[in-house]
Amino acid sequence: MNRRAAALILAVRTAEGDSPPTDRELLKRYADAGDQAAFAGIVRRHSGMVMGVCERATGSATEAEDACQAVFLLLSRKAHSTRWQESLANWLYTTARKVARNSKLASSRRTKRESGATVRPTVSPADAMTARELVAALDEELDKLPPRYREPLVLCHLEGLTRDEAAARLGIPVAILKSQLERGRRKLAGALAARGCALGIGLLATFATASTRASAPRLLESILAAAGGSPSATVAALVKGVVMNGLLVRTKLALLGAVGVAVLGFGFRSIPTGAGPLTPAAEKHDTKPKVEGQTITGTVVGPTGKPVAGAAINTLDKGDYNKPLVRELGKTNADGKFTVTLEPLPPGRPEFRMLVAVKAGFGPDWVEAEKQITGAVELKLVEDLPVSGRVVDLEGKPLAKVKVRITSVADGELNKVWEEWPRSPYNALQAVKKKLWLPTLAGLPEIVTADADGKFEIQGVGRGRLLGLIFEASGIESAACRVVLDPGFDRKKVSNPSEVTMPGGGFQPGPALYGPTFTHTAKPSQSITGIVTDAKTGKPIAGVQVNGSPDGPHWYENGSSTTTDAAGKFVLDRIAKTDRSRVSVFPSEKMPYLHYTTTIADRPGLTEITADLKLTRGVMLKGRVVETGTGKPVVGAGIHYTALADNKYYAELMKGKRSENGMGYSSDADGRFEFVVLPGAGIVTAQGETRGAIVNIPYTQVRIAKEDLPRADMSRLENLGETFSAADGHIITLHSLSGYTIIEPNLTDDTAEVTIAFDRGQAVSGTVLNPDGQPANGVMAYELTACFPYPQKLKDDGAFTALALDPNQPRTLLFVDAAKKLSATVTLKGDEKNLKLKLQPWGKLTGRLLDADGKPIAGARVSASPKSNLQHMAFSTAIRGRTATTDADGKFALDVPSGPAEYLPGFTLKNKYLDTGYRNENPGHKVNAGESTDIGEQKVKEEN
Amino acid sequence: MPTDLWAPYTPDEKQPWDLRRVVHLHRRAAFAGTWDELQRDLKDGPEKAVARLVKGTANLQTGHEFYATAALLFDAAQTQGEIGRLKAGWFYRFLFGPHPLLEKLTLLWHDHFATANAKVDDVTLMRRQNDTLRKHATGKFADLLNAAVREPALLIYLDAQTNRKGRANENLGRELLELFTLGVGHYSEADVKGAARALTGWSVEESQFVEVAERHDDGEKTILGQTSKFNGTNLLELLLKQPAIAERIVGKLAQQFFGVNGLSADAAQQLAAGLRERDLNIGWAVETILKSKLFFDAANIRNRVLGPVEFVVGTARLLELFDPAPSTLAMADWSARIGQDLFDPPNVGGWPTGKNWIHSRSLIARSNYAAALVAGPNSGRSEPYDPAALSKKHGFGTKPNDLLTYHHRLLFGSDPSAETMTRLGGAAPRPMVTALLSSPNAQLG
């Protein structure tokens, strides 16, 4: 799935805060626009009830979960076709009953399972003996009720809504709901009594809260994965997928994390501008792609600006990035000056190096080598501030010998981080651009060990910095934190993210945050052990990587990883106790097995969990990426594989599992790649190199081939582009990809081969002029390239070149001088010559915001986004983060670039989204140059 | 002058101050006693034993820098937004706190003002509510009630935000009358409607209790026979004047300190009258109960089912599993599996108590917990429980019969019957202890 498109779409949509009031509206948004956030909202509302129904019918949490996922998968498919006359809850209830009933798996598997270990409803005494019979009767009788009586019962009793909530959900007056509810209750009670069930509808209440509570949080994610998103790009996926580790993995983590996160529906709110791999800052476009054999001179100064003698200048050795080595290039002289030479990199290797100034007693300073280093570099050391930590368990006892891994040092405006934190800790941390991913470059140890009293100290990070740590020891959760090197840091002043601030199923907590003196309270781990075997032969398999993490929302760095021993055994002993864990298996590259992820329920207390994992053989796919015409290899292309919805082997081979769709592979120096895929229909997608130094992908946006149209889904062109449906239910979009091919290996094939061709398309040059006709200076250009375009800052001659244009897919570019609030826009096909574009003043979007009681809302943040995300991506990117604030009278005026984009407003107040219903009910508004477009009074809908 | 049914207990030949009564006191008013605590109280007599519990000095084993650690654990739960940590943090207080009676009462009020994080979904607010309940747990009920019903967690749980002028949501008003103050039979449906109107405008903004004037229904309401322009505060004042409220408090305390129907109507009424005279002082009522003849009456001993939290914590305490202690996170998990998931009661009525705690599933879970505690790892302890070591430490022998006698006295304050001796005397030490802890009698206290 294309990550950026989804990320941006979701980011924009959710950022503006359409928190939808009714199921039907949510469903419509999903059906019309593929809005994953809307779908997640539906899942969140109803998964508890659906899970409850499935659990009761199958008697097993695991089977119920399968059934539950199936129900939502059906919903995702049916969303478009069905005319929703009835309430969604009712449809889900009925479908869940059908699915669960038809689940043939249930009976055969049931006996093996430990009931009680997985299901934890609060059990009333009456159900202890005859629960199954009573509940079966209840469900059967509910089935028989006419929908209008069943709906209120399902909502109020199985989903645990209040009457007011239920009425709002069904869109009927409370009085009518109450009467329907009463009549439904009477009918049901009568029917149950007739069957000799004295307890009657009291049962409903017993099961309602229990199922809702037990299932909703942990289920959400798996359902979304099955029906709408794709599973997480875990750390493992990265290690395996990108054939790198150490430094590069961490850097890559940032990118795949961001992207995986976006696909998943985690933290997708405001992906930083140009969020693609490595998210380089915009100004980097002025830089040369590589610094080769360059001699660099500079000065190192102390906190007060005085030169520092004897400071070491370190960098990463150009050798094997898999085992990063620190190299000292030289030291400063008595005047604090240095001259060092960076060796050239071997061709094709991305530039990740930094120059780091280090001197004992100070915090380091650093600069990225990929930034143009011309003239003298000044590196400013900062005052040191010791970090003093302690690790205790949840019983307050010090934990000796815990390994404290130092993972990163970052430097930036921390106030902005805390401001963004509740909306997404991930994005908040990503926005801090100055990062030292390999702290050993600054002379910091890789690991410090806690003493007998659980204490440890770290020096040489520097005041004002953000220090990344991970606590590691057998028996405790491997958990990350960020230490804020500010003695005045008050954790309680940083608001936590929640499902309110990260709505639509996107909630992801952040790492723990500590001041410079702190105590980390380590959670105990609940071990998962097992054997990895060949599904067919039953033979144990050594050397397989097994990763574990909580299945619910969790910070991405928290998790456990290990490798199977000679007997195929593994022990994951650093994973927090949680309702459900996610376990991923990654055979090494040479092994012909498919990787997959599955989930496992916890056991009481800290009882060890056992999970035997079976590997299935797949087909080895060998491929190559080349340029059309020249046949030249494309190096470093990102390759992804996804099984398609019509894959006839998927259901059987991936039963109870899912594949890591976030897994990416890279083409080598000859453009070649190799990995294992499923037999049957699948799609291999490819995108230009986006790692390392700034790359403007010079290739066109791929278009769907005629012969593939029958299996494609063209219903989401406006927001997702051309798409296919994956076997696990998620959507694969071709947006921002430069090539793809569909494969269909046979079950008996050992290998398959593919070639993917990238096209460079047309280039058009032109000049951006000021309103006075002179060349514009320092304008930001959006969408100069077709795939993963980064905003680029033009030079003072206003000249630009747009690459990879395709006459069949005109592209809208935007040029912006944000300081002067000027912009120009043009749509190019590739045959234009000698363009001159004149900047024009922006326009304004104005209106007034009122609360549900009609009172003006002051201090709300107002933002806007274009209605058509793909077509007007340039506008979307350019105005992201641009907000206006409502005045005391609720009035606002937001400056936006004029042009073809049709804007929709979004409102937030103190991180809470205000839903005015406007976005769902109205077309967007164009804004003319220098004019205001008024959208009138916007009234926030009442909370349900 | 009617008889004082709440006369203090003074030991005599018929009702001696024996180990059985000391065990009873600790199991009901604390989380079970260790052997040393039991012996100390046996020696010092009931007056001192009760005084220590009331003052919060009964526990000999308290956590290192207890208050700082307890705050650290709650802070971590709050800042990381993890309800699991909050549960574990409370179990830390149960297991290591110096004031078990206060924690028990806090748990009782959590049950009374039941609020579930499943709906509230805000650890900061759940922690805040817990702190508030603890603060007022032994104070005047007026203070407790006034604080508790203004807790944002409770207001969110009962949808106070949607209770507006013209569109009253009766949840809060109904539960206030039915559960928090008067009880069924002491109000009418019309009173519920009036109360709901009085409470319109009560809401939560930025995690704080607020009264939104625009949403308040300022009109006249008739509640419990009185007509006035009631607002929320006036309503609480009115409720606190109702005689039924004292009976409701006594009922709640009886749930903790007496078995089901263990308190006669006369005794309940007398205690309620005393409460009314003392401004509904909860601490006075609790102390009166613990000092009373009724509390120590033979009929009141082992006639009450221990709640899951009481069982989980008490079992660990009496076996002196302090270092290493079982994992508090695991204890919280077990308690949930046995039927009491802290901060997540099944509904606003709280947990179904008494005999309702016992059914086949919960009994199996209790037994599994006992086994895990004795075996070690599954409860988060690196080593198994050593029955002989503890028995020896307290001057008992290490032969099977000695071990059985020690543990039987520790649990029940009495020697094993001949039948028990025959059944368990020959068992290996750990299985014997597990069997004893899983026995029906061990679920009482």
CATH tag, A287-519: 2.60.40.1120
CB pairs under 8 A between A and B: 157
* Closest residue in chain B to residue A157, using alpha carbons only: B347
**Residues of A whose CB is below 8 A from B368:** 604
Written in H, E and C, the secondary structure of A399-422 is CCCCEEEEEEEEECCHHHHHHHHH
- Candidates B89, B171, B344; nearest CB to A213: B344
Q: Is A421 left (phi over 0), alpha (psi -120 to 50) or beta?
A: alpha
CB of A132 within 8 Å of a chain B CB? The answer is: no
Yes or no, beta carbons of B359 and A116 under 8 Å apart: no
Q: Which residues of A163-196 are buried (b: 16+ CB within 10 A; e: fewer)?
A: bbbbbbbbebebeebeebbebbbebbbebbeeee
pLDDT at residue A748 is higher than 50: yes
Yes or no, beta carbons of A122 and B329 under 8 Å apart: no
Yes or no, beta carbons of B346 and A210 under 8 Å apart: yes
Yes or no, beta carbons of B85 and A394 under 8 Å apart: yes
Yes or no, beta carbons of A605 and B336 under 8 Å apart: no
Yes or no, beta carbons of B327 and A394 under 8 Å apart: yes
| H-state helical runs in A577-725 | 650-653
pLDDT of residue A49: 75
> How many domains would you assign to chain B?
1
Residues 542-581 of A with CB under 8 A from B: 577-578
pLDDT > 70 fraction of chain A, expressed in percent and rounded: 72
Per-residue pLDDT band for A3 (boundaries 50, 70, 90) equals very low
pLDDT at residue B373 is higher than 80: yes
pLDDT digits (tens, 9 = 90+) for A12-50: 333 333 333 477 777 777 777 767 677 777 777 777 777
Comparing A287-296, A470-479, A583-592, A789-798, the range with the smallest average pLDDT is A287-296
Contact A43, A505 (CB under 8 A): yes
Q: Domain residues for B23?
A: 19-55
- Candidates A124, A164, A491; nearest CB to B162: A164
- Candidates B96, B116, B334; nearest CB to A604: B334
pLDDT digits (tens, 9 = 90+) for A777-792: 989 999 999 988 878 8
Q: How far is A526 from chain B (nearest CA, A)?
A: 9
Q: How far is B353 from chain A (nearest CA, A)?
A: 10
Comparing A162-176, A655-669, A871-885, B44-58, the range with the smallest average pLDDT is A162-176
pLDDT of residue A373: 60
- Candidates A124, A513, A910; nearest CB to B79: A513
Per-residue pLDDT band for A119 (boundaries 50, 70, 90) equals very low
pLDDT digits (tens, 9 = 90+) for A854-863: 899 999 999 8
Per-residue pLDDT band for A709 (boundaries 50, 70, 90) equals very high
The two structure tokens encoding residue A145:
């009720």
- Edge-to-edge, what's the strand order for the sheet holding A751-758? A672-677, A619-627, A751-758
Average pLDDT over residues B277-284: 98
CB of A519 within 8 Å of a chain B CB? The answer is: yes
pLDDT digits (tens, 9 = 90+) for A906-941: 888 887 778 887 766 677 889 999 999 999 998 888
Interface pTM, i.e. ipTM: 0.94
pLDDT at residue A120 is higher than 50: no
CB of A853 within 8 Å of a chain B CB? The answer is: yes
Per-residue pLDDT band for B53 (boundaries 50, 70, 90) equals very high
Residue B28 located in a structural domain: yes
* Closest residue in chain B to residue A492, using alpha carbons only: B79
Comparing A369-373, A385-389, B121-125, the range with the smallest average pLDDT is A369-373
Q: Which amino acid is at B301?
A: I
CB of B325 within 8 Å of a chain A CB? The answer is: yes
pLDDT digits (tens, 9 = 90+) for A297-337: 999 999 999 999 999 999 988 766 656 789 999 999 999 99
Which residue in this structure is represented by tokens 């120590």? B296
pLDDT digits (tens, 9 = 90+) for B133-187: 999 999 999 999 999 999 999 999 999 999 999 999 999 999 999 999 999 999 9
CB of A120 within 8 Å of a chain B CB? The answer is: yes
Which residue in this structure is represented by tokens 């994956």? A726
SS3 A28: helix
- Number of H helices and number of E strands within chain B? 24, 4
Contact A106, A58 (CB under 8 A): yes
Longest Cα separation, chain B: 77
* DSSP bridge partners of A447: A405
The count of other CB atoms within 10 Å of the CB of residue A344 is: 13
Chosen CATH of A762-840 out of 3.10.50.40, 1.20.1250.20, 3.40.50.300, 2.60.40.1120: 2.60.40.1120
* Closest residue in chain A to residue B82, using alpha carbons only: A509
Comparing A595-599, A694-698, B114-118, the range with the smallest average pLDDT is A694-698
- Candidates B118, B159, B327; nearest CB to A213: B118
Q: How far is B34 from chain A (nearest CA, A)?
A: 19
Give chain A's mean pLDDT: 78
Residue A548, φ and ψ in degrees, nearest 5: -135, 145
pLDDT digits (tens, 9 = 90+) for B185-197: 999 999 999 999 9
* Closest residue in chain A to residue B122, using alpha carbons only: A498
pLDDT at residue B101 is higher than 90: yes
- Candidates B121, B171, B364; nearest CB to A162: B171
Compute and round to an integer the Cα radius of gyration of chain A.
29
pLDDT digits (tens, 9 = 90+) for B235-248: 999 999 999 999 99
CATH class of A843-939: mainly beta
Contact A918, A833 (CB under 8 A): no
**DSSP secondary structure letter of residue B410:** H
pLDDT at residue A106 is higher than 70: no
User: Which is it for the CA torsion B124, B127, B133, B134, positive or negative?
Assistant: negative
Average pLDDT over residues A240-257: 25
pLDDT of residue A74: 74
Contact A787, A695 (CB under 8 A): no
* Test the B interface: residue of A606, A853, A857, A910 with most B CBs within 10 Å: A606
Yes or no, beta carbons of A604 and B372 under 8 Å apart: yes
**Residues of A whose CB is below 8 A from B343:** none
CATH class of A238-281+525-589: mainly beta
Q: How far is A585 from chain B (nearest CA, A)?
A: 26
**Residues of B whose CB is below 8 A from A204:** none
Per-residue pLDDT band for B418 (boundaries 50, 70, 90) equals very high
- Candidates B328, B346, B379; nearest CB to A394: B328
pLDDT of residue A139: 64
Comparing A8-12, A276-280, A291-295, A936-940, the range with the smallest average pLDDT is A276-280
pLDDT at residue A281 is higher than 80: no
Residue B275 located in a structural domain: no
pLDDT of residue A735: 84
pLDDT at residue A600 is higher than 50: yes
pLDDT of residue A63: 63
Q: How far is B108 from chain A (nearest CA, A)?
A: 18
pLDDT at residue B87 is higher than 80: yes
Q: Which amino acid is at B258?
A: F
Chosen CATH of A619-758 out of 2.60.40.10, 3.40.710.10, 1.25.40.420, 3.30.930.10: 2.60.40.10
**Can you state the percent helix, strand and coil of chain B, rounding each to 5?**
60, 5, 35
Question: Ranked by mean pLDDT, which of A292-296, A546-550, B250-254 comes out on top?
Answer: B250-254
- Candidates A116, A392, A943; nearest CB to B162: A943
**Residues of A whose CB is below 8 A from B85:** 394, 521, 523
Q: Which amino acid is at A814?
A: L
Higher pLDDT, A589 or B157: B157
- Candidates B329, B355, B356; nearest CB to A523: B329
Residue ranges matching CATH 2.60.40.1120 in chain A: 287-519, 762-840, 843-939
- Candidates A116, A160, A943; nearest CB to B161: A943
pLDDT at residue A115 is higher than 60: no
Q: How far is B380 from chain A (nearest CA, A)?
A: 6
pLDDT digits (tens, 9 = 90+) for A48-68: 777 777 766 665 655 666 677
Residue A113, φ and ψ in degrees, nearest 5: -85, 155
Counting Cβ atoms within 10 Å, is residue A852 exposed (0-12), middle (13-18) or buried (19+)?
middle
- Provide CB contacts within 8 A for A108, sequence distance 6+: none
Residues A461, A382: Cα–Cα separation, whole Å:
9
Residue ranges matching CATH 2.60.40.10 in chain A: 619-758
Per-residue pLDDT band for A262 (boundaries 50, 70, 90) equals very low
- Candidates A162, A521, A524; nearest CB to B380: A524
The DSSP secondary structure of B346-373, one letter per residue, reads SSTT----GGGG-SHHHHHHHHHHHHHH
Residue B40 located in a structural domain: yes
Residues 378-407 of B with CB under 8 A from A: 378-380
**Residues of A whose CB is below 8 A from B89:** 394
The DSSP secondary structure of B94-125, one letter per residue, reads HHH-S-HHHHHHHHHHHHHT---HHHH--HHH
Residue B157 located in a structural domain: no
Per-residue pLDDT band for A271 (boundaries 50, 70, 90) equals very low
Yes or no, beta carbons of A605 and B89 under 8 Å apart: no
Q: How far is A609 from chain B (nearest CA, A)?
A: 10
Hey, what long-range contacts does A174-182 have (CB within 8 A, 24 or more apart)?
A177/A152, A180/A148, A180/A149, A180/A151, A180/A152, A181/A152, A181/A153, A181/A156
CB of A116 within 8 Å of a chain B CB? The answer is: yes
pLDDT at residue A268 is higher than 90: no
Average pLDDT over residues B415-439: 94
